[in-house]
Amino acid sequence: MIYRCFIELPKSYRFSNELFNATIPISVNGVSGKLLMPDYIDDIINEYGDLYNKNTLKEKKYAGHEDSFYYHLTNFYCEFYNDENIDRDAFYNNIKYTLNAFFDLLECYPKKNECNNVSTHTTKSNKFKFSLIPENEKPISRLHFSGDIWSDCSNNINNCINRYTLLRLLQLIKYNAKPILEFLLLREAKDMLENKNNRYVIINCCTICEIVFSKLLVDKLTKNGSKKDDIEKILNNINGIAALGNLLKEFKIKTIKADFGNLAGLRNKAAHMGISPTVEECNEYIKDCEALLKFHRIKFYEIEKQ
């Protein structure tokens, strides 16, 4: 049986022009189907006008040069296929897992040329809703679920979702990929900046740097022949980002140029004295964290073991 799946977002996603009028296959977690982009959904819009705004879906924007058209979507339409012998609740849960995994990865996906205002979430709502409707039933019987979403604030065309990004993320969730801690903390930092929780922005940024520095040291010490237990003892005796930075210099490990000493000071004031850093300081260190992850080619995901 075919199930129509309507996904409603609180803010629009920006798609590159190449995805207009495209069909993207979906196969993950025992669920198979396809994502239909405009124009394929004309019949669906006409039949379920309350679920789609045709003018919004068809809107295109000009981003500055001839081939830079993109368009916004606030709604998605998918079709999923289910064998009638499969339990319906399990089928719904698998789709819920699939959508949550997709949006979680998309939210943490490292984007090119971040805008100056790095906050990417709306403070009003960061939840998507989706409805599953069997092809022989009316929309009134649909079910609702929710999960996290990402939305881009930049006007730069490089931040559009293109076909490569979409297919790559769908392939990653097929193999149970999850964002790693550093990118989850970076996403949280951006959310916190949006919500004016500047203290936690700096705490997260400092934690990201400490995790990356620790990984670099572990890699260097391992290559030098140190045993795992010895490495753990060394790291356990290191206190803070300043000490980690000194060890990087000692082992001649190159990293980005940033005022990590000032970051450590801001972190201590935020964590122990309750002093709130400025928005400018938060923006600066969020950008430094993005540059750090890019410089050391830190993958934004890991594959969960089955």
Question: For position 111, what pLDDT does the model report?
Answer: 72
pLDDT tens for 115-162 read: 333 333 333 345 677 777 777 765 533 333 444 333 333 334 446 788
Secondary structure string (H, E, C) spanning the chain: CEEEEEEEEEEEEEEEHHHCCCEEEEEECCEEEEEECCCCCHHHHHHCCCCCCHHHHHCEECCCCCCCCEEEEEEEEEEEECCCCCCHHHHHHHHHHHHHHHHHHHHHCCCCCCCCCCCCCCCCCCEEEEEEEECCCCHHHCEEEEEECCCCCCCCHHHCECHHHHHHHHHHHHCCEEECHHHHHHHHHHHHHHCCCHHHHHHHHHHHHHHHHHHHHHHHHHHCCCCHHHHHHHHHCCCCHHHHHHHHHHCCCCCCCCCHHHHHHHHHHHHHCCCCCCHHHHHHHHHHHHHHHHHCCCCCEEECCC
Sequence-separated (6 or more) residues with CB below 8 Å from residue 113: 154, 156, 158, 159
Question: For position 266, what pLDDT does the model report?
Answer: 95
**CB atoms < 10 A from the CB of 164, how many?**
10
pTM, to two decimals: 0.76
pLDDT along the chain (306 residues), means of 10: 79 73 81 76 45 42 44 77 77 84 86 43 53 67 38 44 87 89 94 92 96 94 89 85 90 94 94 94 96 95 80
Amino acid identity of residue 199, one-letter, is: R
**In whole angstroms, how far apart are CA 219 and each of 7, 113, 224, 248?**
42, 29, 9, 11
Question: For position 112, what pLDDT does the model report?
Answer: 60
Question: For position 85, what pLDDT does the model report?
Answer: 67
Measured CA to CA, the distance from residue 234 to residue 38 in angstroms comes to: 56
Question: For position 17, what pLDDT does the model report?
Answer: 73
Residue 3 zone, left/alpha/beta (φ > 0; ψ -120 to 50; rest)? beta
Q: How far apart are the first and last CA of the chain?
A: 29
Question: For position 11, what pLDDT does the model report?
Answer: 64
Question: For position 178, what pLDDT does the model report?
Answer: 92
CA 61: distance to chain centroid?
Answer: 23
